Structure 1
Amino acid sequence: MTSQSNIRIPDGLWAGFSKLGIKVQEVVRKAKMPLTVITKSEVTTEQYIALWQAFSDIIDDIEGGMLMLPTAIETSQYPPPVLAAYHARDYRDALNRMASYKKMCPPENIHIVEEGKQCIIEVSWDRTDIPVPPLLIGTLLVFLLELGRRGTGLPIKATSVEFTYAMNQVQVLEDYFGCPIKTVAERNRLILDKDDLDHPFVSYNDELLDILTPVLDQTLEKHTGRLSITEIVKWILKRSLTKEKLDLKDIASELDMSERTLQRRLTDEHTSFKELLREVRHEQAREYLANPSLDLKEVAFLLGYKDQSSFYRAFRFWEDNTPLNWRAEHKIKQS
């Protein structure tokens, strides 16, 4: 979920760059930003992504680079939201805190689902108009596992890791995660054995959590309060399109409000559930079609359509064009 407010860069990030032998000034200059950002430490989403792209360009090792910051930054340099996760009761509590508090620092979203014997952690983002560096996504996935290892003191391994990007050298990542790495996948995901979430954290600190949690929860409430109900509903829809059933009742339940209240608030913002669902499907359709690794049947499924013909009809209505022609034209424009 994103907001219009700036992103505060934790001091630990600058410290991490320095520990890796990378001059902070070099990263900032390469990102074409003023050096004052180092002391101000507050940037826009575009600038935040530019910093990560600059870091990626400087190290010129995407796969190895994903391991650098999570393993280099000391726990004492964690910002308050991460510190609260590190001192959580167990791995499950830590991950849930990370997913919740990450909403205060876009552009990435963390979505956690426990299914059967698996815990699926998906990283996504709302700003489809700005390409997110693979290094940023990989660093976050690495950190989520590193958090579990540091907190429990155990060599926890993932069962599977998926990236939407192509990679050249995955062995270093497979050695770290302890599992196969799937590239050019549909989503960026870290999949864990659900039993590992029950491991208690040796770093658990109840007294510290009593101090941090109320402050962080209050900050989170203020942050999400600045978002319109339209933005919130669209965010929920984007991560829920593949659900078998998706209607106003589902969204209202997740927001802990009645259907009538949700509908009224959407009406106040001059929109409706159906209109937002159309908008989200249209936006996601363009994003998915821009990914050549997804065939049209997969795109239709990811958008929540039961059959490919329904997706075709909807897309022709949106773009006055077929999905195949749109993809071909888009590819030509990019080349």
Structure 2
Amino acid sequence: MISPTVERIQLAPGFWSSLRRLGIEARDIARQAQLPTSLIQQPSFTIEPYFAIWQAYSDLIGDVGTAIVKLATAFETAHYPPSALSTFHARDYREALTRMSRYKQLCPPENLRIMEEGDCCTIELDGRHAEQSGPPVLLGTTLAYLIELGRRGTGQSLTAQRVEFSFSLDSTQALEAFFGCRIRTGADGNRLKLHRRDLDRPFVSYNAELLEMLTPALDRALDEHLRSRSLCEAVKQLQKRNLVGGRPDIRIVASELGMSDRTLQRRLRDEGTSFKHLLAQARHEQALSYLADPSLDIKEIAFLVGYEDQNSFYRAFRLWERDTPTNWRVRHEVWRSELVTGPV
């Protein structure tokens, strides 16, 4: 079964090898991000260290646009995960993008929305973490990868109609050269606008036999993922509602879901998780959300996420983030400030 820990995010298998091709080692990222090397060698991450890894890569390159282009072009097709591999071997560009939109749900932190109108196809990033928009390099690389996919699949030098980013950039020269169009910054979203005619271009990498093997497995994985997320998210929402000053009771949560506590335990076990595990996730998610609000002090946050004393909250937070709540808040505020004003 797929673990329903939606907030845990996996880096693509070829991420570190692509960075090595650019002369960057994992230890360089760890040092820049101020994260333990042992942490970044894990297979998955919570949202904060995941964003920190991407931000560290951007800082090491020095220019966001250059960092986006370098990584998008350095990533080798042979290192694509199965979900991306199925897009590369699609029949044409339209099918590749449709597959990417569907299977992107297996890979947080953002979804893709595809809209065709007139002579334009717009692909928009729809973030799943509204309280934290990702680093510019992550958002930009996601869009850059989409047109790079089209180029590799069709074997042609495709260009975009227009690219829009919600963040500001010191220079758009590298990105305009890569996308072959004007780059707009400070927009109300992150979008890639393609020439609709390009969507009908066949992929020279089309492999029907491989797709017949990959698609059923990916569809099963996605169905399991969505089912588990549905139940687990419902449980976590009820847990969050009852967090303040105490520990949510499984019998109360099960009753609100219209089942016995034994049935709920069994269903969660079938999904590869438990009520206790989801409770820890609920507390973790709420804690990060509350810490982003400077008007709340740590003692108050501890109470709001269900801890009777501040020390218990500190111990739990260290397990989640390998840092104290106070340090996390300071780093988060600095990081958010740099996204707006740029690094000092």
TM-score by length of 2: 0.64
Given the superposition, is the C-alpha separation of residues 147 and 87 from structure 1 closer, same or farther in structure 2, using an over 3 Å criterion?
A: same
* Unaligned stretches of 5+ residues in structure 2: 235-255, 259-336
Match of 2:83 in 1: 81
CA deviation string 1:191-233 (max 9, x = no partner): 011110000000001111111111111111111112238979x
Match of 1:72 in 2: 74
Q: Is the 8 A contact 1:158 1:177 kept in 2?
A: yes
Q: Write the mapping of 1:58-207 to structure 2, written as runs, cut at 5 A.
A: 58-207=60-209
CA deviation string 1:234-257 (max 9, x = no partner): xxxxxxxxxxxxxxxxxxxxxxxx
Secondary structure (helix, strand or coil) at the match of 1:22 reads coil
Q: Is the 8 A contact 1:162 1:181 kept in 2?
A: yes
Given the superposition, is the C-alpha separation of residues 37 and 204 from structure 1 closer, same or farther in structure 2, using an over 3 Å criterion?
A: farther
Q: Is the 8 A contact 2:123 2:193 kept in 1?
A: yes
Q: Write the mapping of 1:1-335 to structure 2, written as runs, cut at 5 A.
A: 4-228=6-230
Structure 2 residue identity aligned to 1:57: D
- Following TM superposition, by how much is the alpha carbon of 1:68 offset from its aligned partner in structure 2, in angstroms? 1.0
Structure 1 residue identity aligned to 2:142: L
Cα distance in 2 for partners of 1:194, 1:72 equals 26
Given the superposition, is the C-alpha separation of residues 228 and 41 from structure 1 closer, same or farther in structure 2, using an over 3 Å criterion?
A: same
Cα distance in 2 for partners of 1:27, 1:76 equals 23
Match of 2:294 in 1: none
* Unaligned stretches of 5+ residues in structure 1: 233-266, 270-330
Cα distance in 1 for partners of 2:99, 2:58 equals 27
Given the superposition, is the C-alpha separation of residues 112 and 230 from structure 1 closer, same or farther in structure 2, using an over 3 Å criterion?
A: farther
Secondary structure (helix, strand or coil) at the match of 2:177 reads helix
Secondary structure (helix, strand or coil) at the match of 1:124 reads strand
- Following TM superposition, by how much is the alpha carbon of 1:94 offset from its aligned partner in structure 2, in angstroms? 0.6
Structure 2 residue identity aligned to 1:204: Y
Cα distance in 1 for partners of 2:144, 2:153 equals 14
Percent of aligned positions that are identical: 45
Cα distance in 1 for partners of 2:160, 2:117 equals 15
Cα distance in 2 for partners of 1:209, 1:22 equals 34
- Following TM superposition, by how much is the alpha carbon of 1:93 offset from its aligned partner in structure 2, in angstroms? 0.7
Match of 1:235 in 2: none
- Following TM superposition, by how much is the alpha carbon of 1:10 offset from its aligned partner in structure 2, in angstroms? 2.2
Q: Is the 8 A contact 2:14 2:80 kept in 1?
A: yes
Q: Is the 8 A contact 1:3 1:226 kept in 2?
A: no
CA deviation string 1:274-324 (max 9, x = no partner): xxxxxxxxxxxxxxxxxxxxxxxxxxxxxxxxxxxxxxxxxxxxxxxxxxx
Greater shift, 219-228 or 178-187, is seen at 219-228
- Following TM superposition, by how much is the alpha carbon of 1:6 offset from its aligned partner in structure 2, in angstroms? 1.8
Structure 2 residue identity aligned to 1:172: A
Match of 1:284 in 2: none
Given the superposition, is the C-alpha separation of residues 212 and 27 from structure 1 closer, same or farther in structure 2, using an over 3 Å criterion?
A: same
Secondary structure (helix, strand or coil) at the match of 2:140 reads helix
- Following TM superposition, by how much is the alpha carbon of 1:48 offset from its aligned partner in structure 2, in angstroms? 1.1
Secondary structure (helix, strand or coil) at the match of 1:109 reads strand
Cα distance in 2 for partners of 1:204, 1:193 equals 21
Q: Is the 8 A contact 2:89 2:203 kept in 1?
A: yes
Given the superposition, is the C-alpha separation of residues 231 and 125 from structure 1 closer, same or farther in structure 2, using an over 3 Å criterion?
A: farther
Greater shift, 90-99 or 36-45, is seen at 36-45
Structure 1 residue identity aligned to 2:79: Q
TM-score by length of 1: 0.66
- Following TM superposition, by how much is the alpha carbon of 1:31 offset from its aligned partner in structure 2, in angstroms? 2.5
